[in-house]
Amino acid sequence: MKRIFEIDPWKLTSHTFNKEDKRLQESMTSIGNEYMGLRGNFEEGYSGDSLKGTYYAGVWFPDKTRVGWWKNGYPDYFGKTLNAPSFIDLGITINGTKLDLAVNKISDFELTLDMHQGLLTRSFIYEGGDVRVKFEFTRFLSVVIRQAALIKVKATVLSGSAKIAVASGLNGRVYNEDSNYEEGFWDALGEDAGARSIQLRTKANNFGTPQFTVLLKESMRENNEKVEGTVKTAAGQLSESFTYDLGEGESFELEKDVIVVTSRDVADAEQAAEAQKLMDQLQAKSFDQNLADHEAVWAKRWESCDVAIDGDPDAQQGIRFNILQLFMTYYGQDPRLNIGPKGFTGEKYGGATYWDTEAFIIPMYLAVAPKEVTHALLEYRHEQLPGAFHNARQQGLKGALFPMVTFNGIECHNEWEITFEEIHRNADIPFAIYQYTRYTGDDSYVKDEGMDVLVSTARFWADRVHFSKRKGKYMIHGVTGPNEYENNVNNNWFTNTMARWLLSYTLERWPLADEAAKKRLQVSDDELAKWQDIVDRMYLPEDKELGIFVQNDTYLDKDLRPVSSIPADQLPLNQHWSWDKILRSPFIKQADVLQGIYFLNDRYTKEQKEKNFDFYEPMTVHESSLSASIHAILAAELGKQEKAMDLYKRTARLDLDNYNNDTSDGLHITSMSGSWLAIVQGFAGMRYNEDGVSFAPFLPKGWTRYSFKINYRGRILAVEVADKVKISLLSGADLTVKVWDQEVALKEGQTKCLKD
Amino acid sequence: MKRIFEIDPWKLTSHTFNKEDKRLQESMTSIGNEYMGLRGNFEEGYSGDSLKGTYYAGVWFPDKTRVGWWKNGYPDYFGKTLNAPSFIDLGITINGTKLDLAVNKISDFELTLDMHQGLLTRSFIYEGGDVRVKFEFTRFLSVVIRQAALIKVKATVLSGSAKIAVASGLNGRVYNEDSNYEEGFWDALGEDAGARSIQLRTKANNFGTPQFTVLLKESMRENNEKVEGTVKTAAGQLSESFTYDLGEGESFELEKDVIVVTSRDVADAEQAAEAQKLMDQLQAKSFDQNLADHEAVWAKRWESCDVAIDGDPDAQQGIRFNILQLFMTYYGQDPRLNIGPKGFTGEKYGGATYWDTEAFIIPMYLAVAPKEVTHALLEYRHEQLPGAFHNARQQGLKGALFPMVTFNGIECHNEWEITFEEIHRNADIPFAIYQYTRYTGDDSYVKDEGMDVLVSTARFWADRVHFSKRKGKYMIHGVTGPNEYENNVNNNWFTNTMARWLLSYTLERWPLADEAAKKRLQVSDDELAKWQDIVDRMYLPEDKELGIFVQNDTYLDKDLRPVSSIPADQLPLNQHWSWDKILRSPFIKQADVLQGIYFLNDRYTKEQKEKNFDFYEPMTVHESSLSASIHAILAAELGKQEKAMDLYKRTARLDLDNYNNDTSDGLHITSMSGSWLAIVQGFAGMRYNEDGVSFAPFLPKGWTRYSFKINYRGRILAVEVADKVKISLLSGADLTVKVWDQEVALKEGQTKCLKD
């Protein structure tokens, strides 16, 4: 655990600069606008240890898969998150000395990420003997003109006089740190000194996936007036120089406006013109006006999603940071995009999406963002159905298998036990359709495109099960459950339960599907009968004596013992134990049986929940960032308030406190919904079904108050939990909600106050 | 299936040269002398598709392990079989035209591997319009001076006149075809034009394994007189040129003598002097004398190991080819060496040894070679105990874990489900001690070094098992059995049985160990008691109703069906099915339960053997080259003579008929004992224990006679099976053997004739 930013409700601020925390600082001050994003690298460059990273959404590279021993069905390529051409560079010299915080003496350092504005600022005083210069940097990625980055540097000579040279750069000579042989993945297409632009293309590949072309353009302003410096170019690079001779007290403020367009939206030949058009649009307003527009969008978002916590400033900062980072990664703008595990904050993990999106993020997005945001995420999977059919075919199976890791729908990860065993995703991903439909009450998706997804995955499952003659049951062998600390297990209760759910839900929705969908999908009576038979005779391992569902066939034969029996210096297991020892141990990485109980919460009795929680939680090491929140929610439901709080704490400031000691690689974007879920579904006990929404709130020990807002079927509801519980219908039609066992009828503008 | 050599009892001969079969031809005409070996590449070079390969025993390269996702315990490096500097090169031009069989017109081609001599010859007529030249090449690797290769080319002008230039080369610029980035693994150390030598060293590595230095030296002779040509050198290369102007009917014969020394035996600085010494020794005799010496050694080997088959010339050729290739790979000369899966015939598979040696080759070597050969193989493992301790420690386990793949004892393969799950090897490898002791009657090894191996592996097993409280049994979870078409299974019957055997045998032998060994090993009473408890309470899955041992915990839940239910065009499965489908199928790659019954043959009743064979064999696809022979032996024992013959045929000419369509990569060296085992242990029913040796022969349909010889405790026994069975004691002390249920007492020189 390491905390480098000060506690503040709306800001990440630091007044110290520690070189050894540079990567951590960079991860935490990453900013993005869904279209692109970058780590908190310094504009002037930095010669010390640093991870330079700029990422354009949906721009990736298919890197050759390398494995020790090839097996039929392995994907040909691994989708690599691509470090993209950098546009923030503002190289600076002061009287010939390079500005470089790894080397220079500085004072009065301040670095702030304003979470309300999505704005990054930095200032410090350069101490060059007699010469002291104050530098102030400001930057943001516009959420209004998504192709635009706005960067500003102000320099003020505090003492002495200084000749300050600024070289504004666009730089396509970038590399992935995780590449196998320091390969570059970009080819320069050309530089246009006059237009201040460079164009590049990703290297050719043999996998039939598209090459991407990008064009970066800059234009400089001083006091809102365009200025032009001296331009130099090299392959894939452009640099524009400005020089200032300043006496004491004098200053300059140079603004760098950047436009980035890519072949995802604009054909190669039209990119220059499109960039010019966008630059004109951007420069029709001043920096401050553009910032105000940007901030207004953020303000509107915060209005309907903010969570306020009194009595726990750490928690307050944590939840806002998580919401900010999620929204900077994805807000439904482009249904071709999704939420990668590191978002725009690092290059680790390939692919743009995992099952994390549907399982852990959609439940939050449904409540905090307009329903179109979630709808776009559903569309993403529908668009990728051709890839999913390909994946199933590769395994010799019918129907569609959604990938574990992908950019384009085709599985691109090569770890067998994950890619082709962790197939529970093929029910979890469609489960989002069920969640969307139940929460929004909008069944237009499930009747049409959603039915394509349901039937195609149902066909996969019907082929993937086999019938055990000996047991007279359908079984699913050779899977990895959510607990990735076991693999190739048989009859994982969660996987079997979710596969059965998928078939059952598809059977339930099929008669209600649009005629066009029915015609398109041609489900035969035999198919329906087969699905029903699987639903009726699916094997779901259970131990009646213990009163629990059994994680998988031979789990109970293990040397069962609690995590408390492991010496503290052997935790986390994944850093101390061999993989062999981990796999054979009873210890659980993240919710597995309990994930199923979380998903299908209304199907299990309190006793069932309790017995399973009490059995499995003590053996769970929570070494996935996705684990603690689910457990916190169930603990809260079972009245284990202290346990719920303990678990919540593991998710609330995972990155801010560098809990897993790996935030320097980038943020855990897809885990960021965890603290929201723990508060809203956990502490406040929010549940929903077709008929409505309910709460069962409590106030965690130490907190004096917390409140949050949710979108619900066109309304904004506010919930405040203190010594009393207040529910307000801020906008929208009349609504009755349930709080504990009370029906609370609300009219627009009305607040009701309740006590347990 | 493809056959490119003619049928002949003692020769592989071909009179046609097909370019598309070049790699296959190269594999089959590989020669070796334990110290080094090479594929059947052409001396003059070949510009078409070809796999150039020269290999020096024990000279390897630790290549960086590449995997998608690292796990604790993975080995750092993969031991690569290293393509080594080539010494056969004799580049030839005729009137300026390069001799190149990929391009030139030729006639009267003949290529012969003489199996009795271990000699490779090739001749053809070069047809250059009016100029016709006959070329004859001869080469062998001496089994007398193991560092020596002798190569001869004779050219005779049949018509016209020819200026023939010969460039004899030593070439260290060689590459592995399986390298990741066409990396070279050799650095040139220097060339000595005067001494006709080059010296090279393997590249530096970060893994702390030694770099190897090699020195190659050539010396040319004509008519037994040394001759010197014009020498040119380049880094890592040397070329010596000779020119001949020949009229019609004229010829020359040029002999190339080569010495190869390596840092395994000779320090870098002494290699030049040592090579000179060996060259002098070699050149003290003529080519023909050296060949005669070489052939005499082979003749002696054949005398005590030959198998003769009448009525089936294909089988006759097959068994001799297998014996030849095995003996060219290993004959116990150097206990630091072992038998790699491709021997000296290809670069596929890393490592020098697998469990194949102990499980499949030692049972044959015990009978066909002096006991010292097997003893050297036992010593090899004892020498590598430090590596085995390292392997166990890497997994967080006690004792010693012999590697799946290694050069130096340290596991160097990175496929988790093989390397750290297929641990049955850790009982199979010590099982060779039991076999050696029972066959030879020599218990000196098991009392001393062998006890180190037994106790160290016993300690591993005692830590690797766990106790299932629920079942009150010791279990072994997370293994891969010999059937590699399943992995990460629990309680593989074979693994549990062999682990239990290991503990039980160690307990049995411990009291008889040498005092020094006891003192060294310090086995406590608690340890002995624990081992006994595991022996007593080991879980061995069994199905009483079916009367079978169960392959692993949930095997019987699979969709059980015979191989005959698979459409023929889907076989072999590993070329047609996805890995997912294979893993979940009931189909068995190679003997698993039946391997255990084969190993511990005298512990099971005929009924047990029959029920298990009838249950498992129909589900076995025999897609490992190690499978058919074991099944053939059991089928023979069970009186299923036709089945035994069918299975035998799959092993007898595996490479000669390119049965698996992969012989172009190299020969299946470690499977080559299979046909011998099928004949001797199968058709002739040979068995042995502490008390003696027995036979239960039958004559397979279509054969008129077969005979073989075995070494047995200082004797040579000959067995002939025709319409009658004849047993002869060719040499050695009186012996009584059992044939069927008859006790046959033999004196030296005596033959007894029996009938069933």
- Chain A nearest CA to B553, separation (Å): 8
Binning chain B into helix, strand and coil, the percentages to the nearest 5 are 35, 25, 40
Cβ separation of B396 and A580 shorter than 8 Å?
yes
Least confident of A66-80, A154-168, A364-378: A66-80
> For residue A466, which residues of chain B lie inside 8 Å, CB to CB?
558-559, 584
> For residue B397, which residues of chain A lie inside 8 Å, CB to CB?
580-581
CB A520 within 8 A of CB A452: yes
Q: Which of B404, B415, B423, B557 to mutate to test the interface with A (most CBs of A within 10 A)?
A: B557
Which entry of B26, B255, B484, B486 is annotated as an active-site residue? B484
Q: Which of A63, A72, A179, A471 to mutate to test the interface with B (most CBs of B within 10 A)?
A: A72
Q: Which of B423, B485, B488 to mutate to test the interface with A (most CBs of A within 10 A)?
A: B488
User: In this complex, which of A71, A415, A466 lies closest to B69 when CB atoms are compared?
Assistant: A415
Cβ separation of A578 and B395 shorter than 8 Å?
yes
Which pLDDT does position B67 carry in this prediction?
66
Q: Give percent of chain A above pLDDT 90.
A: 90
How many other CB atoms are there within 10 angstroms of residue B314's CB atom?
15
Answer yes or no: is B589 a known binding residue: yes
**Is the pLDDT at A182 greater than 70, yes or no?**
no
Outline where DSSP puts E strands in A618-714. Answer: 687-689, 692-695, 705-712
**Could you tell me which chain A residue has the CA closest to the CA of B578?**
A72
Q: What are phi and psi of A170, to 5 degrees?
A: -120, 130
Would you call A497 helix, strand, or coil by DSSP?
helix
pLDDT tens per residue, range A13-28: 999 999 999 999 999 9
- DSSP H/E element including B279: helix B271-283
CB B485 within 8 A of CB B582: yes
> For residue A665, which residues of chain B lie inside 8 Å, CB to CB?
none
Cβ separation of B554 and A490 shorter than 8 Å?
yes
Cβ separation of A557 and B475 shorter than 8 Å?
yes
Would you call A371 helix, strand, or coil by DSSP?
helix
User: In this complex, which of B71, B577, B582 lies closest to A579 when CB atoms are compared?
Assistant: B71
Q: Does B572 sit behind a cis peptide bond, omega within 30 degrees of 0 on the bond before it?
A: yes
Cβ separation of B68 and A74 shorter than 8 Å?
no
Helix axes A493-509, A525-537, angle to 10 degrees: 140
Cβ separation of A468 and B558 shorter than 8 Å?
yes
Cβ separation of A478 and B583 shorter than 8 Å?
yes
User: In this complex, which of A420, A559, A579 lies closest to B466 when CB atoms are compared?
Assistant: A559
User: In this complex, which of A78, A488, A574 lies closest to B487 when CB atoms are compared?
Assistant: A488
Sign of the Cα pseudo-torsion (A318, A323, A328, A330, in order): positive
- Chain B nearest CA to A125, separation (Å): 44
CA distances (Å), origin B490, targets A678, B148, B493, B544, B600: 37, 51, 9, 19, 21
Q: Which domains does chain A have, with CATH numbers?
A: 11-302 (2.70.98.40)
Which pLDDT does position A180 carry in this prediction?
63
According to the 3-state scheme, what is the secondary structure of B651-694? Answer: HHCCCCCCCCCCHHHCCCHHHCCHHHHHHHHHHCCCEEECCEEE
**Could you tell me which chain B residue has the CA closest to the CA of A552?**
B554
Instruction: Measure the CA–CA gap between B165 and B90, rounded to whole angstroms.
Output: 10
Which pLDDT does position A638 carry in this prediction?
98
pLDDT band at A547 (very low <50, low <70, confident <90, very high): very high
Answer yes or no: is A298 a known binding residue: no
Which pLDDT does position A67 carry in this prediction?
66
Instruction: Measure the CA–CA gap between A662 and A360, rounded to whole angstroms.
Output: 20
Locus of tokens 């040139």: B188
Nearest C-alpha neighbor of B729 from the set B737, B740, B721: B737
Cβ separation of A477 and B557 shorter than 8 Å?
yes
Cβ separation of B68 and A71 shorter than 8 Å?
no
Instruction: Measure the CA–CA gap between B685 and B687, rounded to whole angstroms.
Output: 6
> For residue A421, which residues of chain B lie inside 8 Å, CB to CB?
580
CB B711 within 8 A of CB B719: no
**Could you tell me which chain B residue has the CA closest to the CA of A575?**
B72
**What would the two tokens of residue B49 be?**
């598709």
Instruction: Measure the CA–CA gap between A300 and B303, rounded to whole angstroms.
Output: 94
User: In this complex, which of B65, B181, B583 lies closest to A181 when CB atoms are compared?
Assistant: B181
Locus of tokens 């574990």: A404
Instruction: Measure the CA–CA gap between B213 and B266, rounded to whole angstroms.
Output: 9
Instruction: Measure the CA–CA gap between B589 and B585, rounded to whole angstroms.
Output: 11
> For residue A467, which residues of chain B lie inside 8 Å, CB to CB?
559
Cβ separation of A395 and B490 shorter than 8 Å?
no
pLDDT band at A417 (very low <50, low <70, confident <90, very high): confident
pLDDT band at A178 (very low <50, low <70, confident <90, very high): confident
Complete DSSP assignment for A314-354: HHHHHHHHHHHHHHHH-SSS-TT----TTTTS-S-S-SSB-
**What would the two tokens of residue B213 be?**
């230095």
**What would the two tokens of residue B528 be?**
């002995």
Q: Is A484 a catalytic residue?
A: yes
> For residue B68, which residues of chain A lie inside 8 Å, CB to CB?
65-67, 78, 413-415
User: In this complex, which of A69, A73, A490 lies closest to B557 when CB atoms are compared?
Assistant: A490
Which pLDDT does position B184 carry in this prediction?
85
- DSSP H/E element including B504: helix B493-509
Q: Give percent of chain A above pLDDT 70.
A: 99
**Could you tell me which chain B residue has the CA closest to the CA of A545?**
B470
Which pLDDT does position A550 carry in this prediction?
98
Which pLDDT does position A549 carry in this prediction?
98
Helix axes A641-652, A313-329, angle to 10 degrees: 50
The bridge status of strand A692-695 relative to strand A735-739 is: parallel
pLDDT tens per residue, range B504-537: 999 999 999 999 999 999 999 999 999 999 999 9
Q: Which of A393, A554, A575, A576 to mutate to test the interface with B (most CBs of B within 10 A)?
A: A554
Q: How far is CA A443 from the centre of its chain?
A: 26
Nearest C-alpha neighbor of B261 from the set B119, B149, B414, B345: B149
Answer yes or no: is B276 a known binding residue: no
User: In this complex, which of B67, B488, B577 lies closest to A68 when CB atoms are compared?
Assistant: B67
User: How many pairs of residues across A and B have Cβ atoms under 8 Å apart?
Assistant: 138
Cβ separation of A68 and B74 shorter than 8 Å?
no
Q: How far is CA A292 from the centre of its chain?
A: 26
The bridge status of strand B735-739 relative to strand B692-695 is: parallel
Cβ separation of B580 and A478 shorter than 8 Å?
yes
How many other CB atoms are there within 10 angstroms of residue A235's CB atom?
13
Answer yes or no: is A448 a known binding residue: no
CB B308 within 8 A of CB B706: yes
Which entry of A484, A486, A623, A637 is annotated as an active-site residue? A484
**Could you tell me which chain A residue has the CA closest to the CA of B559?**
A468
ipTM above 0.95, yes or no: no
> For residue A413, which residues of chain B lie inside 8 Å, CB to CB?
68
Over residues A439-460, the mean pLDDT reads 98
Q: Which of B390, B487, B579, B623 to mutate to test the interface with A (most CBs of A within 10 A)?
A: B579
Locus of tokens 């015990």: B366
Cβ separation of A581 and B395 shorter than 8 Å?
yes
pLDDT tens per residue, range B646-705: 999 988 898 999 988 889 999 999 889 999 999 999 999 999 999 999 999 999 999 999
User: In this complex, which of B68, B471, B580 lies closest to A67 when CB atoms are compared?
Assistant: B68
CA angle B468, B470, B476 (to 5 degrees): 25
pLDDT per 10-residue tile (average), chain B, 756 residues: 94 96 97 97 98 96 75 84 96 98 98 96 97 98 98 98 98 87 86 98 92 98 96 98 98 98 98 98 98 97 94 96 96 93 88 88 96 96 98 97 94 86 98 98 98 98 97 98 97 98 98 98 98 98 98 98 97 93 97 98 98 98 92 98 94 89 91 95 96 96 96 96 96 97 96 86
**Could you tell me which chain B residue has the CA closest to the CA of A63?**
B68
CB B323 within 8 A of CB B146: no
Nearest C-alpha neighbor of B693 from the set B675, B680, B683, B707: B680
